[in-house]
Structure 1
Amino acid sequence: MTRDATLIEAIDALLPQTQCGKCGHPGCLPYAEAIAQGEAINRCPPGGEATVARLAELTGRTPRPLAEPAQLPQAAVIREAECIGCTKCIQACPVDAILGASKRMHSVIATECTGCELCVAPCPVDCIDLVPHPEWQAASDEAEREAYLARRAELGRRRHDARRQRLARLEREKRLERQRRMIRRESQSSRSGTSPTPQHRQRQMAIKAAEQAVRRARMQFESARRRDDREACRLAESQLERANALLEEARAALAASQSPQ
């Protein structure tokens, strides 16, 4: 691990992992990366003055007042009787802490909610409230409050990482499926004997696209292996297997089009 990577990891470990974006970045890790490059350390309202002090100690910088007022731990609550099941809050949640489906009532998993507020603005019927987090309120002393903040940070980081990996996997699968449909259409057109020259070019393009997908999957696997990220390695291996299957399918379609009828 490089010196910069070690510093970024240490900074990220001090951030609250609410993934709220109030620092101006799309999550805590991007803010940690920006701090490592010299950005101000006082832009995290959920972390409060305590986080500024810890970041100042780590980076050797002078503590500065928060750019925005500190924010106590909170949780989102959906007024379920008013929910229309639009799924906009589900799509906005950075830690997948909202249950529901299209045209079905949604509900927040309070123990997993980081209080990021990102679900509030997209709601078209304004049925989401923000309340003090019940676990924070239940804490009877400073030790219990610190323990809650540590749990929130660990869970928030883990769930945010899992969501990013899930969305990336879905996007790759969609891209591969689009390529697969194109290959099948071209193969069917070839068997029907229509427009051989343009179809031949398109099949060659499909092979090139599949080869690019294989290269991307291999690069993702190598990156995950270097990071010693077993889950990312597993996902990359699965993606590589699908990409190789797509490449074989594309090559078979081209070979079939070149065979005597």
Structure 2
Amino acid sequence: MANSPNVNVTVDARETLADRIEDLLPQTQCTKCGYPACRPYAEAIATGVANHNQCPPGGIEGVARLAHLLGKPVIPLNLENGVERPRPLAVIDENVCIGCTLCMQACPVDAIVGAAKQMHTVIEALCTGCDLCVPPCPVDCIAMIPVTGAKSGWDAWTQDQADAARDRHDRRLARQAHEREAAEARAAARQAERHAGRPVSHEESDAQPASVAAPAIADDPEARKRAIIQAALERARKKKEELAKLGAAPKNTEHVSADVQAQIDAAEERRRRLGLAGGSEKNDSDH
């Protein structure tokens, strides 16, 4: 058995076992352990549902820390959860980013800043290297670049960084809960007003079926413009589906809106101009 690591764990009578386990996790919030965040994983270990070798960012030292606390043997990292590796940093290709905000929504520690339809960037000091921003990017413009040389696991991470990441994650969860509560309150207020007989607002009328709104389009220039744009977006979506069958489109386009799809098309055109299109150029030359 490996020697127990020199880890100082301050025991408070008010602390639960899950609290003490969570204090030993790197707080990257990467979900590689099979749980949505570090806290649920800590609770699963404490209740015996999960093993103490499911955290790749913590590496073998992380396993040893948990083993020491739990009085269990140091066992190899479970490769089904991933491998120990140098800590990566998310880097966004500014030439290709379309500002869809999907990476911002995925980042568990608010390390990505930007605005809709504007280039996003990663705050290096806040990135935990969790990889979660990569899959939802519809134009595959995010790369994970190792930044710690040969250092991996806890050698590539510090307790101060872990504590800061946990704080940002907790604040993000609190903000999201507040936003959900506010949205539910607004929806309840609108429902109550409708039951009270208030006339339907312009925003609500936009949600009416197309068959109801269609007669007004002919007399409304703005409505005609929106209809033309929507038709163009639908054509772009169908074209993208055809390109995807030929292997000439971004990989992650299954669940994006028509607006984001239009941005993807523009990004692909930029890729072609920059010589980054790969298979797209080949297909273009075939015609």
1:15 aligns with 2:25: yes
**Residue 52 of structure 1 aligns with which residue?**
63
Paired amino acid for 2:173: R
Paired amino acid for 1:25: Y
1:159-204 CA-to-partner distances (Å, cap 9, x unmatched) read 10011001110000000001111222333459xxxxxxxxxxxxxx
**Residue 187 of structure 2 aligns with which residue?**
178
Aligned counterparts, 1:222-261, within 5 A: none
Q: Secondary structure at the match of 2:16?
A: helix
**Residue 87 of structure 1 aligns with which residue?**
101
Q: How many matched pairs?
A: 184
Q: Displacement of 1:4 after TM fit?
A: 9.5
1:115 aligns with 2:129: yes
Measured in 1, the distance between the counterparts of 2:133 and 2:156 equals 26
Q: Secondary structure at the match of 1:125?
A: coil
Structure having the larger proportion of residues in helix: 1
**Residue 145 of structure 2 aligns with which residue?**
131
Paired amino acid for 2:97: C
Paired amino acid for 1:164: L
- Relative distance call for 1:20 and 1:4 in structure 2 (3 A) is farther
Aligned counterparts, 1:28-177, within 5 A: 28-38=38-48, 39-68=50-79, 69-133=83-147, 136=148, 148-177=157-186
Q: Normalization by structure 1: what TM-score?
A: 0.65
Paired amino acid for 1:22: K
Paired amino acid for 1:32: A
For structure 2, the residue ranges without an aligned partner over 5 or more in a row are 1-10, 200-287
Q: Displacement of 1:17 after TM fit?
A: 0.3
Q: Displacement of 1:147 after TM fit?
A: 9.2
1:187 aligns with 2:196: yes
Structure showing greater relative contact order (alpha-carbon pairs closer than 8 Å, 6 or more residues apart): 2
Cα pair 2:86 2:156 within 8 Å, conserved: no
> In percent, how many aligned pairs have the same letter?
49
**Residue 203 of structure 1 aligns with which residue?**
none
Paired amino acid for 1:57: H
Q: Displacement of 1:123 after TM fit?
A: 0.8
For structure 1, the residue ranges without an aligned partner over 5 or more in a row are 191-261
Q: Normalization by structure 2: what TM-score?
A: 0.60
RMSD: 2.6
Cα pair 2:92 2:141 within 8 Å, conserved: yes
Q: Secondary structure at the match of 1:77?
A: strand
Q: Displacement of 1:120 after TM fit?
A: 0.5
Q: Displacement of 1:102 after TM fit?
A: 1.1
Cα pair 2:91 2:122 within 8 Å, conserved: yes
